[in-house]
């Protein structure tokens, strides 16, 4: 017989003690026909099943943010050299770059977690594209003007229905909180860097952790804001 007490203890961390006890009872009843391997894979599936969308959403958001960050930074660097923006435009582009990364994180996370039909995911994806195009082509009027027009249209369409309005508010809140969190983490890491110039391993660890902490802050803000503004849409459409 497998170590059912350990399985029950582990399951109770995720689904509560009462439910864990009955689930382990059910699995033990079936295990006599199917074996220990089935028992443990079943325990793992009960733990992972409710969270796999969230887990993959986090992973996708992390890697997409990293990729977008590289692409945008590279592009801005090249464009700066040729178009030489003023200080104000440079600051605006820097802020827009962070917003674009936060929007891509929210898009990846919400697409995994809530599906493509979700209004929040659709809005995040549309705005991610617009923000990225604006950062890339801020110097090109034929691109920026349609982007601004499309942004106005997206916002106008979003305020027309209650669910899209809720998605717009949730996304604005998520990006706003993510921006503040991002700024706080980056400033914190810089302060640490200045205090401890020689400890390169520590700096490396802090810098690596910074990326993870930023993603965690941004996606926690995304979940919280969605819960506040769209409590009825918390479950994935494919699971309804």
Partner 1 sequence: MIRPPALGEFEQVVLLAILRLGETAYGVTVRAEIVACTGRAPTPGALYTTLDRMEDKGLIQSHLGDSTPQRGGRAKRYVKVTKKGRYALIEAQRQYQSLLRGLDLLEGGTDA
Phi-psi region of 236 (alpha: psi -120 to 50; beta: other; left: phi over 0): beta
Could you say which of 9, 13, 50, 190 contacts partner 1 (CB under 8 A)? 50
Residue 127 CB partners (closer than 8 Å, separation 6+): 103, 151, 154, 171
How far CA 14 is from CA of 20, 46, 47, 48, 49, in Å, comes to 8, 9, 7, 9, 11
Q: Rounded to a whole number, what is the distance in angstroms from the first to the last CA of the chain?
A: 36
Could you say which of 17, 19, 74, 227 contacts partner 1 (CB under 8 A)? 19
Q: How far is the CB of 233 from partner 1 (least distance, A)?
A: 12
Could you say which of 153, 186, 191, 235 contacts partner 1 (CB under 8 A)? 235
Looking up tokens 């890339």 gives: 136
Cβ atoms within 10 Å, residue 35: 11
**Contact indicator for 55, 109 with CB cutoff of 8 Å:** no
Could you say which of 10, 47, 151, 206 contacts partner 1 (CB under 8 A)? 47
42 near partner 1, rule: CB under 8 A: yes
Could you say which of 6, 25, 74, 207 contacts partner 1 (CB under 8 A)? 25
* Residue 10, SS3 per DSSP: helix
Nearer to partner 1, 11 or 102 (CB): 11
Q: Which stretch binds partner 1 (CB under 8 A): 37-45, 101-109, 112-120, 215-223?
A: 37-45
163 near partner 1, rule: CB under 8 A: no
Could you say which of 9, 17, 26, 94 contacts partner 1 (CB under 8 A)? 26
35 near partner 1, rule: CB under 8 A: no
Footprint on this chain of partner 1 (rule: CB under 8 A): 1, 4, 8, 15, 18-19, 21-30, 32, 42, 44-50, 235, 238-240
């Amino acid at each position: 017989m497998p170590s059912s007490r350990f399985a029950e203890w582990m399951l109770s961390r995720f689904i509560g003690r009462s439910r864990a006890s009955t689930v382990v009872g059910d699995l033990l009843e079936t295990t006599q026909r199917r074996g220990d391997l089935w028992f443990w894979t079943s325990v793992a599936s009960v733990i992972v099943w409710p969270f796999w969308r969230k887990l993959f959403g986090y992973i996708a958001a992390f890697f997409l943010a990293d990729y977008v960050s590289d692409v945008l930074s590279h592009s801005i660097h090249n464009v700066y050299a040729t178009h030489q923006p003023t200080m104000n435009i440079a600051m605006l582009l820097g802020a827009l770059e962070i917003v674009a990364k936060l929007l891509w994180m929210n898009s990846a996370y919400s697409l995994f977690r809530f599906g493509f039909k979700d209004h929040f995911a659709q809005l995040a994806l549309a705005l991610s594209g617009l923000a990225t195009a604006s950062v890339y082509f801020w110097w090109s009027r034929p691109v920026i003007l349609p982007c601004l027009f499309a942004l106005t249209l997206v916002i106008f369409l979003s305020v027309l229905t209650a669910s899209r309005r809720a998605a717009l508010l949730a996304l604005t809140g998520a990006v706003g909180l993510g921006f503040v969190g991002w700024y706080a983490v980056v400033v914190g890491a810089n302060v640490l860097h200045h205090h401890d110039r020689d400890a390169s391993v520590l700096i490396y660890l802090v810098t690596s952790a910074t990326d993870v902490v930023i993603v965690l802050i941004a996606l926690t803000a995304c979940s919280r804001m969605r819960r506040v503004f769209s409590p009825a849409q918390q479950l994935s459409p494919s699971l309804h």
